[in-house]
Amino acid sequence: MDASVGNGFADIATFGVEVEFLMLFRESGTKLSLELESGDCGRSPQQIPEEPCHLSSSSDDDHEVHIKRLQYFGSEIAKKLTEAGIATVYREKGHPKDETPSPDAEGPQLGRFGEFCYTAYKKNTIVPEETMIWTDPTADGKRMAVRPNTPKGYFWLGFEFVSKAYRYCELDVSKSDLEVLCRTLRAEYCVSVNAGKDSESASSRCGTHVHWGLGGTEYDLSNVKRVLTLMWVIEETLMNLHATWRQDARKYAALLQTGTNMATDNTPKLPGWINNLGEGEWIHEMEQDVPARVQESLHRNRPKVQWLWRADTVHDLAMLVGEVKKSRRASVAITELLPATSDFPGKVRRSQLNTIEFRHMQGSLEPVLIAAWISVTAEIMRRCVDSSPEDFASTLGYVATCVSDENSTAQELLNRLGIASETCSAFRSFQQQRLNWEADSSNSIFLPEL
């Protein structure tokens, strides 16, 4: 079913947000003062949540202790959020895994397995964020590897808030929920979006991700191409809305024009037809949707926009926009458009959520800023799904002219995209210098109460 036909994007769209964050806790009975590179976390040891004295036993190894801490504090966080007004549960996994799907005609639908929708997105969840503070049960039995280094008597835990599925018409509801989320976490915990430097080349810094779906139904391939083409053109300028370090992300948020297979001419991981695009219906489709100057633009002397439109399948597109090492999700992730049974190497989840994911934003517990980015992605998606070929080509040409001017700004781009003035104002309130400070890898910055 092509959900883009017959109903407008605003009528059928659903979305969800994932907010990664880090928290510092103290070991049972510790009275040691807290000393971090930033000098002062602003809280005495008694104010930092302490693990229960009988949470673990002397026979537990590091991995078992870590898991028990995650379960205990994850459940506590979910309980506090529920008491604050947004119903939340703790789960060990953030996304469906071996879930038995059940039919449901009620409520927003995010993701689909066969003819049924996943129930995992009917509630907000707190889940472990294992890419930030992780365990390695395969090394030396169940040895725990914790990033970053932790002050004696204390330990970091990484979590992720995975929102329930919202309808497009519930944008204001999501803003209210984000306000409660951020206010509660910042008031109740020693929380950060950065836990300092853990190696010469990396640090434990968080991200914020936005998923957009069409009520669980599949996207038309041409709409996916539109999203990737528009983002290919405007992404570099849009990144000026976010923390500077996100522009250099390589592993899980590689930018389309710098860190993907197509950007780097990573031939072994690209479709076999890139050197001979050939003829076909794709040319007519591209000519309708993409202005000639964008079609003919070159990246490393190759027509990369044409590659996007030459792709016959989502699998081909996923090859093009996968990150270079393992073809994993990049800044615009489309692997959840692939079947759950797909053998695509970059697909790590056995699910098909039928969502397009925007992974550009740094970790944040600023509700206004998160809501503003959701609104920007909403307008990008609306234009790609709703526009006629003529209107989409006009928009693409309009923004291409803007970003080609070296003096243009992200704010000018937002205006050309038709972003509301309230949203533009929100980004002006959070300059990159402040966002960079929160994620400075030489410090551990704890966020004050709102």
pLDDT at position 409: 95
Going by their DSSP bridges, the two strands 154-162 and 88-90 should be labelled as: unpaired
Backbone angles phi, psi at 234, to 5 degrees: -105, -10
Tokens of 306: 């044409």
pLDDT at position 139: 56
Give the CA distances from residue 9 to residues 5, 71, 374, in Å, rounded to whole numbers and listed in that order.
9, 38, 15
pLDDT at position 449: 85
**In the block, residue with structure tokens 């944008």:** 171
Which of these, 448, 447, 443, lies nearest to 35 by C-alpha position? 443
pLDDT at position 103: 47
User: What whole-number distance in Å separates Cα of residue 67 and Cα of residue 180?
Assistant: 27
pLDDT at position 237: 96
User: What whole-number distance in Å separates Cα of residue 293 and Cα of residue 286?
Assistant: 12
pLDDT at position 40: 44
Which of these, 81, 45, 100, lies nearest to 186 by C-alpha position? 81
User: What whole-number distance in Å separates Cα of residue 309 and Cα of residue 285?
Assistant: 8
pLDDT at position 325: 87
Would you give per-residue pLDDT tens digits along the chain (450 residues)?
A: 344 445 799 999 999 999 999 998 999 988 877 765 543 455 555 678 999 999 988 898 888 888 899 999 999 999 999 999 999 999 987 665 555 444 454 545 455 433 335 566 788 999 998 766 665 656 555 555 555 567 788 888 999 999 999 999 999 999 999 999 999 999 999 898 887 655 444 557 789 999 999 987 889 999 999 999 999 999 999 999 998 888 877 777 899 999 999 999 999 999 999 999 999 999 999 999 999 999 999 999 999 999 999 999 999 999 999 998 888 889 999 999 998 888 898 887 777 888 999 999 999 999 999 999 999 999 999 999 999 999 999 999 999 999 999 999 999 999 999 999 999 999 998 877 888 888 776 666 778 888
Backbone angles phi, psi at 423, to 5 degrees: -70, -45
pLDDT at position 2: 43
Q: What is the pTM of this model?
A: 0.91
pLDDT at position 289: 98
**In the block, residue with structure tokens 């992720």:** 160
Asked whether the beta carbons of 188 and 349 are under 8 A apart, the reply is: no
